Structure formats: structure tokens, C-alpha cells
A and B are shown apart, each in its own frame.
Chain A
């Protein structure tokens, strides 16, 4: 996903001179293609995330569309108030980009585990969450954001994620993207990099009659259209590599709160809090946190 991000950013910046990239002294072997080609639109803010986000907001207020790139919690929790007050409140076109979504940096420790970021970022009323499921969705989300400049959070994995799509999908906020159609009775709805996990689960007997959907663009402003999409299925299971509290499943429940019959059709697969403070590979920690097809050690069953 990192490669798709930088390739797409370079391509978009070649067509749009407003696009700038700011990094928090991170991105070695990722960001160089942009920095080399567009030095006047590249800034390494150093290890100072509060200032970085404020500077990005200031630049955005003067015509730039700024992508602010860093790892996991550094561009979110470390500068949460700058995102809230400077970027989101002023409705400035800054995209906060966090690489290492979920437990992608599983062995690096709790500091690098982005498992509470949805909960934080979806608190901003007019901030769009972009959680692409594969490299193609990364490109689609970025094109959407450049075509619709606004405060946004782009949550990407790291490297090596498989391509689930074969071409650029059409994405729209709040709209589920059909990935696999198998009857239209039940749906597995993923967000972020759990798309690949969902694809694996389809091979399990328990999911034999499930369709696979992905929701890459969502947020507080896009709840209203969830009920109609849930209503088309007898059951919808959401999947996220994020803690249950404040995450994607919680967002969906909030969206369905006024329609109890739809609420009953929804189940959530999220990470159990036990993953906090534990290290391991991404796949092992996802299993440990309950993200496996049979739901063992999981929650929300």
C-alpha cells in the first residue's frame, strides 16, 4: 500500500500543483520519488508532530492540499488537537496519512499499534475516513480526496498487501463496494486492510453464502445511508483491525441505532483489548485478538 500511495501521489501531483507532501521524519525508501521530483512541495517537518500538523493547516489555508505522512499513532494521537482545531474545524484540505494500520507493525510494540485511531478520527464531524482494503483502493481513495479536497484521514497498511481488485474501483463515501457476490443473502463488510482477511474467510464453511463488501470511505457524516444497505441482507458482519470500542462496528451500530430490526442483523468482528501491549506478527496478533474465521477469542459473537 505504501508504494501505491507514493506512486499515486506523484501522479496526482504531476497534474495538480496544489498537492504537497509533509512527513514527520519518516518514510525512508517510500517518499523519495515525491521529494526528488517536487522539492518545492515537499517538507520534512522533523520529529515534531504538533508543529507539523499546524504547519500543514497553515499551508492548506494558502492553497495547498497537504498529505501529512507518518507512522501509526504519530500523525493522529500525538497531534489530535491540531487535527481537531486547526484542520477539521477550519475545513482545510489536509489528509492525515498513517502507515502501519492496525497491527501491521505488530513486532514494534504498543507505541506502533494503530488500533484506536478510528475511534479518535471519527469524532471529527466533517473529517472523512479513508481506510482502503488493497493497493487499488488506496489509489481510488486518493483520487477521490484530490477531486474532493477536505479534511481526511488515510489509513494504509505497509507493504506487500495483496491486490484484491483487478482495476481501479469506484469509491464513494458511505457506499459499500462489492468485491465478491455469492447470492446476496449475507454480507461480510470489511474496512481497511481486513479486506484480505475477509477474502480468506469466504473459503470457510461458515461463510459459504456470504458476499464480500468493503467500505473504504466513511465517517460521522456518512451514517445515514447505512440502514438501506444493511436492509438488503439477512445478516451483515463488519470486520476491522481495530478495538471494538469506538471502531467501525460501533460506528455501524450508531448508524442503525434507531432501527432495532436492522441492528439485530449486524455483528461485529473487532480486536479484543487483549492485543494491547502484546507483540507478534500481524497475522498472529490478529488471530490472538479474535480476527479469525471461527471467531474464537473474538468478541461480538
Chain B
């Protein structure tokens, strides 16, 4: 329940951020909320009071356009005060519309796709060679798997037996203009990832129990990078945004925000949980 409360909070905060900033990519952010919430609530060893703690697990968001998910998680976990989220997307703000390493708790700035995994692999290699026990987690989009650099990085990670690396692929099957299948077909994606040397597990990317269970048993195979192929829904959690490519671009109106927040409030009420501070 801890991670589900966090995910609900993150959705609320993210919707408020993109509405206020008239920003895009809310669909992409909603898609990864559950994964990111499980990681920050229950998996990652991090210290909000000391973001540079040397033995922390490293989290990298390669699909940097979904940054509001991570900004919300970091603020909710105490890396920086919640009111600072109001600066998201404002002039000269560190809370840029693609994830920024100037924000406490963010390891790496991305925005151009295909950069996060090679960087994460470099960190994982450094950890191995220095005998460190911390892990590296990196979240990629499915459309991002079009980038050759990711496949180069997978080859490299397998060759160097980087089993301290967890790659989470947000497989929502929608990319910028249309479906993944109609853009550049990835299937059979799991087989391809296995062929490239990954230990691959497929899960429902919104099933917290399944995500938690898998992430608590890393690595899945000694000597292999773990690749979580997470089947997700773009826009997950807001009925009128789910599976709609338009929410890669459109920012919600005030009316749409109200409706979305009502749906999220209803979700919380359905748990009977007290989350009054969230909205």
C-alpha cells in the first residue's frame, strides 16, 4: 500500500505540474508512475537527506520527458520541499521539462533518447570494478528501443556481466505519433532482449505486488543484467488519458485537471486511506 499511496500522490502532483506549466508528456509520465513509486518506496537504497550518499543505489530516467514522475517521487520522498514543484517548467527553473541533474536526487539529465542506458552501464561497470554493492536502475521507453545505442549498451552490459544493472522498459505500445507496432515493430521484444544477453522478466507494470516481488529478487540470473519488460498503459490512472496518443502532447485544461484529480481521489477513497494532504 505504501507504494500505491506514493503512486497516487505522484499522479496528483504530476497532473498539477503539467497543467500549471502547460507542459506535454503527461501520458508518458503516468505510464511509469507505478514502477517509479515501487522503486522509491520499497526498492532503492537512497537517502533523501543526503542525495550524494556514496553507497546509494543509482536511478536514471532515460525517457527524460516523463520527468514529472520522478520530480514528484523525489519531492514526496523528501529530497526537496513539495512547494518547489511549483517551479516546474518556469523560466530559469532547475525543474526543467526534461529531467535535470540540477534537481536534488537526479543523477543524470536526459531528453534525447538512447542516452540513459549507456550512462547507467558505465556506472554499473564502475561499481563492479570498484567492488561496490550498490545497484543501477534505469527506466527506458519502448519507442526509445529504436535507438541503436541501447542495443550497443545491452551487448556491452551482457559482455561485462553487469548483474548489478536493472533495466526497466516502459512497454506501453504507444510512441510519439502512433503505436509502436506501426512505427518500428519491436516484437518479439522479450526474445530480442534475451538474445542480447539480458535476464528478462515480463510483468504488468502497474501491478505493485508483482513489481515489488521481482525487484526484491535481483539479480535474476548471476552474470546477466536484469531487464524488466513492463507492460503498461500510457496515461494510466486517468480514464480519458489512457491509451490516447494525444496525451503525449496535450496539457490538461483546468476542467480536465479537476476530473483527473477526482478520479485519483476516488481511488484513494476506495482504499479507505487518509491522504488529505495530497491535493
Residues of A within 8 A of B (CB): 40-41, 43, 45-46, 48, 50-64, 81-82, 85-86, 89-90
Are B148 and A57 interface neighbours, CB within 8 A? no
Decide if B112 is an interface residue (CB 8 Å cutoff).
Answer: yes
Are B126 and A63 interface neighbours, CB within 8 A? yes
Contacts of A41 in B (CB 8 A): 129
How far, in Å, is B39 (CB) from chain A's closest CB? Answer: 19
Given A58-B119, A63-B126, A89 and B148 touching (CB < 8 A)?
Answer: no
CA distance in complex: A155, B115 (Å)? 25
Are A59 and B123 interface neighbours, CB within 8 A? yes
Cross-interface CB contact of A55 among B108, B112, B114, B118, cutoff 8 Å? B118
Decide if B155 is an interface residue (CB 8 Å cutoff).
Answer: yes
CA distance in complex: A53, B117 (Å)? 12
A54-B149, A61-B122 are known; give 14 further A-B pairs, CB within 8 A: A43-B125, A54-B115, A55-B119, A55-B153, A56-B122, A57-B118, A58-B118, A61-B123, A62-B123, A62-B126, A62-B130, A85-B109, A85-B112, A86-B118
CA distance in complex: A54, B155 (Å)? 14
Among residues 92 to 129 in chain B, which have CB atoms less than 8 Å away from a CB atom of chain A?
Answer: 101, 107-112, 114-115, 117-127, 129
How far, in Å, is A48 (CB) from chain B's closest CB? Answer: 4
Decide if B87 is an interface residue (CB 8 Å cutoff).
Answer: no
Are B149 and A59 interface neighbours, CB within 8 A? no
CA distance in complex: A59, B156 (Å)? 14
Are B123 and A48 interface neighbours, CB within 8 A? no
Decide if B269 is an interface residue (CB 8 Å cutoff).
Answer: no
Contacts of A61 in B (CB 8 A): 107-108, 119, 122-123, 126
Are B115 and A86 interface neighbours, CB within 8 A? yes
How far, in Å, is A292 (CB) from chain B's closest CB? Answer: 42
Given A46-B155, A46-B156, A48-B155, A62 and B118 touching (CB < 8 A)?
Answer: no
Contacts of B155 in A (CB 8 A): 46, 48, 51
CB-nearest residue of chain B relative to A50?
B149
Decide if B152 is an interface residue (CB 8 Å cutoff).
Answer: yes
CB-nearest residue of chain A relative to B134?
A62
CA distance in complex: A60, B119 (Å)? 10
Cross-interface CB contact of B109 among A48, A82, A90, cutoff 8 Å? A90
Are A50 and B152 interface neighbours, CB within 8 A? yes
Size bracket of the B interface: 20 to 34
Contacts of B109 in A (CB 8 A): 85, 89-90
CA distance in complex: A4, B59 (Å)? 39
Residues of B within 8 A of A (CB): 101, 107-112, 114-115, 117-127, 129-130, 148-149, 152-153, 155-156, 159
Cross-interface CB contact of B119 among A43, A45, A54, cutoff 8 Å? A54
CA distance in complex: A46, B155 (Å)? 10
CA distance in complex: A45, B117 (Å)? 14
How far, in Å, is A149 (CB) from chain B's closest CB? Answer: 15
How far, in Å, is B149 (CB) from chain A's closest CB? Answer: 4
The total of Cβ contacts below 8 Å across the A-B interface reads 91
CA distance in complex: A151, B195 (Å)? 35
Cross-interface CB contact of B125 among A46, A59, A81, cutoff 8 Å? A59
Contacts of A53 in B (CB 8 A): 118
Given A54-B149, A61-B107, A82 and B118 touching (CB < 8 A)?
Answer: yes
CA distance in complex: A184, B122 (Å)? 50
CA distance in complex: A58, B136 (Å)? 11
Contacts of A86 in B (CB 8 A): 108, 115, 118-119
CA distance in complex: A43, B160 (Å)? 10
Contacts of A59 in B (CB 8 A): 122-123, 125-126
CA distance in complex: A53, B110 (Å)? 15
CA distance in complex: A55, B115 (Å)? 10
Contacts of B125 in A (CB 8 A): 43, 55, 58-59
Contacts of B152 in A (CB 8 A): 46, 48, 50-51
How far, in Å, is A50 (CB) from chain B's closest CB? Answer: 4
Contacts of A58 in B (CB 8 A): 118-126
How far, in Å, is A22 (CB) from chain B's closest CB? Answer: 9
The contact sample of 15 A-B pairs, CB cut-off 8 A, is: A41-B129, A45-B156, A48-B152, A48-B156, A50-B148, A51-B149, A54-B153, A55-B118, A55-B125, A57-B119, A58-B119, A58-B121, A58-B124, A62-B127, A64-B126
Contacts of A46 in B (CB 8 A): 152, 155-156, 159
Identify which of A58, A62, A89 gathers the most chain B CB atoms within 10 Å of its CB.
Answer: A58
CA distance in complex: A57, B101 (Å)? 14
Contacts of A57 in B (CB 8 A): 118-119, 122
CB-nearest residue of chain A relative to B119?
A58
Contacts of A81 in B (CB 8 A): 112, 115
Ranked nearest first, the 7 interchain pairs of A and B with the lowest CB-CB distance are A58-B122, A54-B118, A51-B152, A62-B126, A48-B152, A55-B122, A50-B149
Contacts of A48 in B (CB 8 A): 149, 152, 155-156
Are B118 and A63 interface neighbours, CB within 8 A? no
Identify which of B110, B111, B152, B153 gathers the most chain A CB atoms within 10 Å of its CB.
Answer: B152
CA distance in complex: A57, B155 (Å)? 18
Identify which of A46, A57, A62 gathers the most chain B CB atoms within 10 Å of its CB.
Answer: A62
CA distance in complex: A85, B98 (Å)? 12
Contacts of A56 in B (CB 8 A): 122
